[in-house]
Amino acid sequence: MSEQISSSPAFSVIMNGSFDRVRQYPTLGEIFESEELSRALLEAARWPQGPECLNCKALGAACKLTTRPGLWTCKACRRCQYSVTSGTPLHGTRVTLAGWVVLFHTHEVRRQRLSVSQVSRKLGVSYLTAKSMLRRLEELRTEMPEMADRLRNQLTDLSGNRDAPQAAMPKVSSAITGL
């Protein structure tokens, strides 16, 4: 089972990138509760070949900055700092990445279309934040369909390969003040 999982390019990015210490691929429940794992999953979905510079488009020139989690710089042009949300509809979000993964999984894998009130209640975010999340999710689907497809496939693989707990909602409310 683990061989099958690690043969996916996107998963190898996670295994060889941020999560080389992870011997066994995490469960959905672990991803939903981990900002680090959620970030790695989003990075693999956006950059199946590894991080790509937003400025010069260089591949393989990304260098992880230690100053802030998830921040990359470019060794090729040295003019760019970026994260997995830079240049996407999720840019500037104050919602945790784990919260985004949970919402994406609920809508795109479990096919449960939540209302604004339901998102607000389940993720413990304000009504306005929930409304903004649903709008941004729709933008992600339309503006970055390849990333959305890969993320959907990864989460679907994880759902199928594991007896995953039903999308336990992460506690994301404390850091969120609304958008």
Residue numbers at the binding site for Zn ion (CB under 5 A):
53, 55-56, 58, 74, 76-77, 80
Q: How far is the CB of 68 from Zn ion (least distance, A)?
A: 18
**Dist CA 46 CA 40 (whole Å):** 10
Between 62 and 164, whose beta carbon lies closer to Zn ion? Answer: 62
Q: Are 44 and 14 in contact (CB under 8 A)?
A: yes
- Residue 112 bridge partners (DSSP): none
Q: Which two tokens stand for residue 41?
A: 């999953």
Between 78 and 110, whose beta carbon lies closer to Zn ion? Answer: 78
Look at residues 156, 163, 168, 158 and name the one whose alpha carbon lies nearest to residue 111: 156
Between 58 and 179, whose beta carbon lies closer to Zn ion? Answer: 58
* Region label for 160, one of left (φ > 0), alpha (ψ between -120 and 50) or beta (otherwise): alpha
Question: SS3 for 62?
Answer: strand
Q: How far is the CB of 67 from Zn ion (least distance, A)?
A: 18
Q: How far is the CB of 126 from Zn ion (least distance, A)?
A: 36
Between 79 and 135, whose beta carbon lies closer to Zn ion? Answer: 79
* Three-class HEC string of 143-163: HCHHHHHHHHHHHHHHHHHCC
Q: How far is the CB of 176 from Zn ion (least distance, A)?
A: 32
Q: How far is the CB of 111 from Zn ion (least distance, A)?
A: 38
Between 46 and 136, whose beta carbon lies closer to Zn ion? Answer: 46
